[in-house]
């Protein structure tokens, strides 16, 4: 993937692309998290294929894009009337396509300014939380990360319970804790970056968007502080 | 958050947990769970005339873990030790109005912690 959806880290696709090219390997990347947020130049990224999802750029749901470099042949995903050059038969979702096109145009026009705005809000929230709450940290790369993604870790508390307290305070977020997943296993991403399970359980992912304001970010920071303190008071991992 | 399917009672015990804290020099202490799994529970009891006079808990865990701990302390307070030992995981879950299926294992820990605290008291009392 171009950027990881949980911890926001942007991957070095150009370098990976070079390795793939040298070894005659087809290279597809999931660009769902980056398209519309940061520049995605398929030529310089060196990908043979890239996927984009409409709703991630404020377009409609149920529509996406698969970029395929000229000369790369792929098999048809469903057969029938031969639509989309025989690759995907089935009447095209025209309203979806139009909506996605407009969304892409709007994203392109606002992308640079939005990235600056979101990065500033994101870091404001990060700095507030990390400075106010002890034994907390950032998961993922501090700089090479999506402008809108924050993933924080807190010792001694569990993520699902944190989400519910935040929900009561009007903040929507997600977590990598085991108890929040259907499979009851902690986030495979956090595990892969070497985070101990007991610290993965205390992770909080927040993402910002077009409608988020400075006031909302400050409210979120206070809500997080309040909730973490509350949970730590009742935690079996707290000091005696 | 409604898709998780927590009952009103569970949410009440989660938002307003009863008997949170540590008892200094408890008569009985029970600890179950594993931070690696995401669940750790402590129960502290003070016993008077073979009844649970005071009981508190501390939990590292999800909403269900906190709610079941709180409910367990409420159910056990004032009961005789034998009555408290009879409180099962199912009793706790039922009194809370049920738990979503994937959360039932959280209710196990609370009842187990209570039983361990009582056993701890009895072992100490024997000495």
pLDDT in tens, A5-38: 999 999 999 999 999 999 999 999 999 999 999 9
- Give yes or no for A40 touching B (CB within 8 A): no
Query: Tokens standing for A193?
Result: 């970056």
pLDDT in tens, A112-164: 999 999 999 999 999 999 999 999 999 999 999 999 999 999 999 999 999 99
* CA–CA gap between residue B19 and residue B99 (Å, rounded): 21
> Does A240 have pLDDT greater than 70?
no
Active site residue B62: no
For residue A104, what pLDDT band results from cuts at 50, 70 and 90?
very high
Query: Tokens standing for B7?
Result: 């009952």
Q: What pLDDT sits at residue A184?
A: 78
For residues B44-61, average pLDDT: 96
Angle between helices B104-126 and B63-76 (to 10 degrees): 40
The DSSP string of A160-178 is: HHHHHHHHHTT---B---G
Query: Tokens standing for B13?
Result: 């015990």
Q: What is the CB-side half-sphere exposure of residue A232 using CA atoms within 13 A? A: 16
Please measure the distance between the N-terminal and C-terminal CA atoms of chain B and give it in whole angstroms.
49
Q: What pLDDT sits at residue A199?
A: 92
Q: Is the pTM of this model over 0.90?
A: yes
> Does B102 have pLDDT greater than 90?
no
For residue B1, what pLDDT band results from cuts at 50, 70 and 90?
very low
Percent of chain A topping pLDDT 90:
92
* CA–CA gap between residue A121 and residue A112 (Å, rounded): 15
B25 CB neighbours in chain A (<8 A) are: none
For residue A183, what pLDDT band results from cuts at 50, 70 and 90?
confident
- Give yes or no for A201 touching B (CB within 8 A): yes
* CA–CA gap between residue A231 and residue A221 (Å, rounded): 16
Q: What pLDDT sits at residue B69?
A: 96
- Is A203:A224 a contact under the CB 8 Å cutoff? no
Distance from CA of B36 to the nearest CA of A (A): 5
């Amino acid at each position: 993937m171009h950027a990881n959806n949980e911890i926001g880290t942007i991957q070095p696709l150009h370098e990976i692309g070079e390795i793939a090219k040298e070894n005659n390997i087809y290279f597809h990347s999931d660009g769902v998290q980056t398209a519309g947020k940061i520049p995605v130049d398929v030529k310089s990224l060196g990908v043979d294929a890239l996927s984009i999802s409409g709703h991630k750029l404020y377009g409609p749901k149920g529509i996406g894009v698969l970029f395929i470099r000229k000369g790369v042949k792929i098999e048809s995903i469903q057969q029938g009337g031969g639509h989309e050059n025989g690759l995907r038969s089935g009447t095209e979702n025209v309203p979806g396509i139009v909506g996605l096109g407009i969304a892409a145009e709007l994203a392109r026009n606002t992308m640079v300014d939005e990235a600056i705005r979101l990065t500033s809000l994101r870091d404001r929230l990060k700095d507030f939380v990390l400075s106010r709450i002890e034994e907390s940290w950032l998961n993922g790369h501090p700089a090479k990360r999506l402008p809108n993604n924050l993933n924080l870790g807190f010792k001694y508390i569990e993520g699902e319970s944190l989400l519910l307290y935040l929900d009561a305070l009007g903040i929507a977020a997600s977590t990598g804790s085991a108890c929040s997943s259907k499979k009851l296993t902690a986030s495979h991403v956090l595990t892969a970056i070497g985070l101990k399970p007991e610290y993965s359980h205390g992770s909080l992912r927040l993402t910002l968007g077009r409608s988020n304001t400075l006031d909302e970010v400050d409210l979120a920071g206070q809500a997080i502080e309040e909730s973490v303190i509350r949970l730590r008071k009742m935690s079996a991992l707290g000091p005696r | 958050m409604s898709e998780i399917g927590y009952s009103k009672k569970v949410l009440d015990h989660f938002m307003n947990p009863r008997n949170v804290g540590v008892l200094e020099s408890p008569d009985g202490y029970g600890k179950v769970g594993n931070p690696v799994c995401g669940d750790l529970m402590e129960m502290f009891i003070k016993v008077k005339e073979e009844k649970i006079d005071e009981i508190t808990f501390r939990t590292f865990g999800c909403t269900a873990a906190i709610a079941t701990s709180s409910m367990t302390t409420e159910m056990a307070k004032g009961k005789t030790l034998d009555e408290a030992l009879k409180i099962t995981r199912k009793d706790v879950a039922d009194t809370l109005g049920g738990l979503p299926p994937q959360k039932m294992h959280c209710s196990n820990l609370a009842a187990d912690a209570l039983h361990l605290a009582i056993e701890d008291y009895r072992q100490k009392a024997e000495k």
